Amino acid sequence: MLTTREPAVLVLEDGRTLTGRAYGRRGATVGEAVFSTGMTGYQETLTDPSYHRQVVVMTAPHVGNTGWNDEDDESGRIWVAGYVVRDPALRPSSWRSNRSLEDELDAQGVVGICDLDTRALTRHLRERGAMRVGIFSGEEAALPASELLARVTAAPEMSGASLAAEVATTEAYVVPAVGERRFTVAAVDLGIKSNTPRMMAERGIEVHVLPATATLEEVRSVAPDGVFFSNGPGDPATAQVQAELLQGVLRAGIPYFGICFGNQIFGKALGFGTYKLKYGHRGINQPVMDRTTGKVEVTAHNHGFAVDAPLEGSTSTEHGEVTVSHVCLNDDVVEGLEVRRDERLVAFSVQYHPEAAAGPHDAAYLFDRFTELMESTRTPGPTQGEVA
């Protein structure tokens, strides 16, 4: 484990500067500063492709106590641009740990900073909003403050960023069903997490994971019972190709389920706008109401954009009647959409992460809702399309 703690500095684009100590790889990094409120699951957070080009500030004060293992990664690498913690663990303490968190950060080239007031930093981001930030350690930390700030403000903003293709697979692959194959799903990878196809496979779904650039012909070539769009990074306003693909899926009458970025693209395909949240939702403790059941779920989130759809009433579209099915109880942000034709459910999405590898698991039922939708869609009779 790295133990030397050279000085490090964190510089926000509005000029605010905090000093701390080097953590992980020494050097420099820039990205969008966001904060995550999860107290556990830091390995899943770091390997979530949705965090591409973001510097994650952990609000939990003590990070790294369970080390790093080889089972909990949500993708093949760490995606965060930088990492900010207050008190790093001196040593990991878990029977599952293979090495320390800091050693893994260093091995994967992730520049971080520790020993600073993350509570003050989080309050600043809540008041001013997510913004660009730089972390500088080693020789980089000794550069003039004006030069460091100039490097931060020269970094690209998240608004207008098209990033899904940068994190998605370039080649299609298949995750086989566990046990008997009941359904086939075409999953468009926009930054998919490994637990998502795993949870579908456990329900008898053979998952064909396709690149973010997949066409309607490629989707239909796997003869899917349903289509799934994953989570992913970037501005949904740039996802016009994926929105047009989804419109083709809906016109073809194929059941659809989307999460996170897949919810935003669903909204875009239905004619709604999207907008950037002030500081986003990130963590594993966000309360959401499923308005179709009246139940409140504690859910895992990672999104900085949202769908601009009316919370009340329905909207008529060529694909059916659209309603907001889920809403965040903290701020009334749209957290889910559904489309019905003749009162029958044909497509739905949520803004959060029902696969939630680090928990909570309140929303796992959504995968069952998807299987029920696919089952009812291919079953003739008056109850076609209904979901319990």
Catalytic site residue from 52, 124, 303, 353: 353
How far is the CA of 160 from the CAs of 195, 246, 276, 279, in angstroms? Answer: 28, 20, 10, 16
Distance CA 170, CA 239 (A): 17
Choose the catalytic residue: 44, 102, 297, 355. Answer: 355
Annotated catalytic residue 328: no
Catalytic residue list contains 355: yes
Residue 361 annotated in active site: no
Q: Which of 102, 260, 301, 303 is catalytic?
A: 260
Residues classed as catalytic: 260, 353, 355
